[in-house]
Structure 1
Amino acid sequence: MTEEKFIPKPYSKAVEKGNFTWSSPSNIALVKYWGKKERQIPENPSISFTLNNCKTITKLTFSKKQNHSGFSFEVFLDDEKKDDFKPKIETFFNRVEQYLPFLKDFHFKIETSNTFPHSSGIASSASGMSALALCLMSVEKELVESDVTSSAVEMSDEFFIQKASFLARLGSGSACRSLEGDLVVWGKHDEITGSSDLFGVKYPFEVHENFKNYQDTILLVDKGEKQVSSTVGHNLMHGHPFAQQRFNQANQNLSNLISILKEGDLDAFIALVESEALTLHAMMMTSMPYFILMKPNTLEIINKIWTFRKNTGSKVCFTLDAGANVHVLFPEKEKDGVLKFIKNELVAYCQNGHYISDRIGFGSKLL
């Protein structure tokens, strides 16, 4: 599979204007990717739970313009114009233009909103970039299917999602894992047929009932902007003394997770997921320059979870993304007990007592 597959044949451009609205969720990686090659290619494969409630809703309105010089677009977040979002979208458009050659033919109005607070410290780039990629694919589908001269009059659903995932990756790496659910793999892995560095794929193997409708409560420890961006962090893996061992470990952990998910082994799941989270942050602490994104309250929460698990036999565990917030993962049957524990013991460590109750979801939706 090569990128050339996603370069379209010329279309007749019969469409003058229109709009599409997509919702796309965030996701949380179980096996993390940290470190990337050129053009958003991951150094190691990753797998994530797709979330259900934390999502971005994006409406893309487009109208034909007379000249074809440069990109023309405006961006709104919650009905407020956001010019500071434009450079990131301009970079994205430049990266994907050869795959979406209509981009300079239209003026776009991008209206976006999140179901979670924008400054909540939840990565909105995954949900935001995947929602935008889906809207753009809907425009291309319209152009392809209104072109009566084309032999490929219909675009398959499989190709639509695959190309949208490919495009989303060029905006934000982990965005390619947000289009489907409930488990998505991104990155070539020898044991997972169809896996690719170019786009995310639905996890193809058997998953035990223990992991169905898994719960994720996100504890918002720190809503501030990270002092080191993920892009900078990824780049610090070039020349990192432990980089190669880390990439090998991630591959091995994904292999191990295949049997864990099949057998429903919750203890092995906990050990692997928590180890992955701490290894991610260990990479940050041992890069040059080194940095720490965890906060004191992150560590307080982790220790509380360990104590609770030891005292009760609960199967609750934590994972972290590249930030201070804690994702508390647990089986659905423990929901009442774990939420009570969160309210009684963990909310005190959240900024302004804020947390978000979520669970596994099944991806994006055309609205």
Structure 2
Amino acid sequence: MPPSIVARGLDTPNVFITAGDGVFMHQWHCVVVGFLTNEIAEHIARRTSFPNLPPAMRSVTCSTPTNIAVIKYWGKDSVALNTPINSSVSVTLNQKQLKTVTSIVASTTFAADRIWLNGAEQDINNKRIQVVLKEMRRLATSKALDADGKPIRKEDWPAYKVHIVSINTFPTAAGLASSAAGYACLVAALIELFAAEEEYPGQFSAVARQGSGSACRSLDGGFVRWEKGTKADGSDSLAVQVADHLHWPELEAIICVVNDKEKDTSSTSGMMTSKDTSELLGFRAREVVDKRLHAIEAAYKAKDFETFGKITMMDSNQFHATCLDTYPPIFYMNEVSRSIIHMVHKYNEAAGRVQAAYTFDAGPNAVIFVEKKHTAEVMGLLLHHFDRDATLEVRGDFKKTDVVAPAASLLSAVKVNAAPGSLKMIYHTTVGEGRKVLPASESLIDLATCLPRQ
């Protein structure tokens, strides 16, 4: 806190009380989204006023990453509990390029809970949102401070309503796990708001799962497994970190955005139809997934890219084969997707080993995993085949100027029929960490109105 700020007494209307990264305002009787990292007495002693600020609160903001499954989950064991028919495992991507950011403020003066996504107000009565809110309120403790610097009793939390503001930095509902990052971020922010505590390890991820299945894997960084679970109440269907984000620093990802629009068949609808009609889906869950999980986790821990890459591609192929085996069939990939698959296989054939590995979630957009030493070469091939008019935007630390033109021998071996302009964008990113609490300066909330910033 800057030394020029002078503390004032509790009888002053516009009093602010610091709590970790949070600020509480006496006049508004509001609570900041923030976990108390120091003793409550220390925060009360550090009460301050900010004479240049309007009578509003400052909110702490959370962010969470997206994750890309390399062993896919498709099909629900229980729709009510949102549990899967098989376990899965994913790579968490770096938030520098792809993330969801969520701010939440709570007040006894708000008339009702409200939520905004990407600038548009959404229905707060959405069943999944309500499940998450109810469960996180149940896990609230008495450790958060109210506007008078006193702990809010657990039993008093129902008097507080919340305003939730959330944005994605990547296309929503286009097969890039936006719902996973979104629900994970909602849970992350509610953890901070309520100073919530788990009753058992992994419970927060189980709550996120009830919003969006894959969301449970976005609370942690690195390589994360989602356990199917066996308990009737779904409590053991949760995420477990296999390796942190620092384990394999050479692993990178190139995301090819083929379509940034909402997909025709939602994941929820698609997997329900697959479960009802695809015999391959059941066979995959019973006979294939567990073996692949053990093998790919061992490969990741050993940084064995060739094994990791081969299993990743095989599982992506089988997932989409399941979609084709569905009646009527579901087509998430398109001709551009298939051109990328062809390019990766031809590249690996030319190299004599697996140096790049594609995977596709429920959408046409490709994620290509590579090790850093091969990134420039693969990017060069992508730009050569898909950016002939030099208009394709590349986001991330890797720039177009870093690309070295592919050798003539490589171009001769890797021929792709690709229409210019068929890719919308490319992201270059790395393995990333899990949920974060961001500085208050990154709040999405207008401090004067408690509504989204314009």
User: Fold conserved (TM > 0.5)?
Assistant: yes
Shift of 1:333: 2.0
After superposition, what is the alpha-carbon deviation per residue over 1:116-149, rounded to whole angstroms, capped at 9, x for unaligned? Answer: 24476523111111011111111221xx6xxxxx
Shift of 1:340: 1.9
Sort the Cα spacing of 1:244 and 1:82 in 2 relative to 1 into closer, same or farther, 3 A.
same
Shift of 1:165: 1.3
Q: Greater shift after overlay, 100-109 or 216-225?
A: 100-109
Sort the Cα spacing of 1:204 and 1:315 in 2 relative to 1 into closer, same or farther, 3 A.
closer
Q: Which residue of 183, 203, 206 maps to 2:223? A: 183
Sort the Cα spacing of 1:135 and 1:299 in 2 relative to 1 into closer, same or farther, 3 A.
same
Determine if contact 2:117/2:165 at 8 Å carries over to the other structure: yes
- Aligned match of 2:162: 108
- Aligned match of 1:73: 113
| Structure 2: runs of 5 or more not aligned | 1-28, 34-59, 141-156, 388-417, 439-454
Does residue 361 (structure 1) correspond to residue 417 (structure 2)? The answer is: no
Q: Greater shift after overlay, 279-288 or 90-99?
A: 90-99
- Aligned match of 2:348: 309
After superposition, what is the alpha-carbon deviation per residue over 1:41-90, rounded to whole angstroms, capped at 9, x for unaligned? Answer: 111110100000210010011112588xxxx3222334x2323x5454x5
Larger RCO: 1 or 2 (CA < 8 Å, sep 6+): 1
SS class of match (1:236): helix
State the alpha-carbon separation in 1 of the partners of residues 174 and 274 from structure 2. 27
State the alpha-carbon separation in 2 of the partners of residues 208 and 86 from structure 1. 37
SS class of match (1:227): coil
Determine if contact 1:218/1:327 at 8 Å carries over to the other structure: yes
Sort the Cα spacing of 1:95 and 1:266 in 2 relative to 1 into closer, same or farther, 3 A.
closer
- Aligned match of 1:152: none
SS class of match (1:288): coil
Determine if contact 1:29/1:48 at 8 Å carries over to the other structure: yes
Does residue 97 (structure 1) correspond to residue 134 (structure 2)? The answer is: yes
Residues 325-336 of structure 1 aligned to structure 2 (within 5 Å) = 325-336=365-376
State the alpha-carbon separation in 2 of the partners of residues 98 and 178 from structure 1. 18
- Aligned match of 2:31: 17
SS class of match (2:202): helix
- Aligned match of 1:134: 188
Q: Look up the equivalent residue of 2:190 and give its one-letter code.
A: L
State the alpha-carbon separation in 2 of the partners of residues 55 and 22 from structure 1. 10
Shift of 1:224: 2.3
Does residue 231 (structure 1) correspond to residue 268 (structure 2)? The answer is: yes
SS class of match (1:198): coil
- Aligned match of 2:309: 270
Q: Which residue of 82, 86, 89 maps to 1:44? A: 86
Shift of 1:315: 0.5
- Aligned match of 1:318: 358
State the alpha-carbon separation in 2 of the partners of residues 331 and 280 from structure 1. 24
Sort the Cα spacing of 1:333 and 1:140 in 2 relative to 1 into closer, same or farther, 3 A.
same
* Aligned residues with identical type, % of pairs: 27
RMSD: 2.9
SS class of match (1:132): helix
- Aligned match of 1:125: 179
Shift of 1:32: 0.6
- Aligned match of 1:54: 98
State the alpha-carbon separation in 1 of the partners of residues 270 and 158 from structure 2. 32
Q: Which residue of 196, 207, 211 maps to 1:171? A: 211
State the alpha-carbon separation in 1 of the partners of residues 136 and 203 from structure 2. 9
Sort the Cα spacing of 1:208 and 1:181 in 2 relative to 1 into closer, same or farther, 3 A.
closer
Sort the Cα spacing of 1:281 and 1:335 in 2 relative to 1 into closer, same or farther, 3 A.
same
State the alpha-carbon separation in 1 of the partners of residues 273 and 348 from structure 2. 35
State the alpha-carbon separation in 2 of the partners of residues 122 and 263 from structure 1. 27
Q: Look up the equivalent residue of 1:241 and give its one-letter code.
A: E
SS class of match (2:362): coil
Q: Which residue of 104, 107, 119 maps to 1:63? A: 107
Name the TM-score, length of structure 2 as normaliser. Answer: 0.65
Determine if contact 1:36/1:235 at 8 Å carries over to the other structure: yes
| Structure 1: runs of 5 or more not aligned | 1-14, 145-154, 191-195
Sort the Cα spacing of 1:304 and 1:198 in 2 relative to 1 into closer, same or farther, 3 A.
same
State the alpha-carbon separation in 2 of the partners of residues 300 and 287 from structure 1. 23
- Aligned match of 2:320: 281
Residues 345-356 of structure 1 aligned to structure 2 (within 5 Å) = 345-347=385-387, 351=422, 353-356=424-427
State the alpha-carbon separation in 2 of the partners of residues 111 and 363 from structure 1. 20
Determine if contact 2:90/2:223 at 8 Å carries over to the other structure: yes
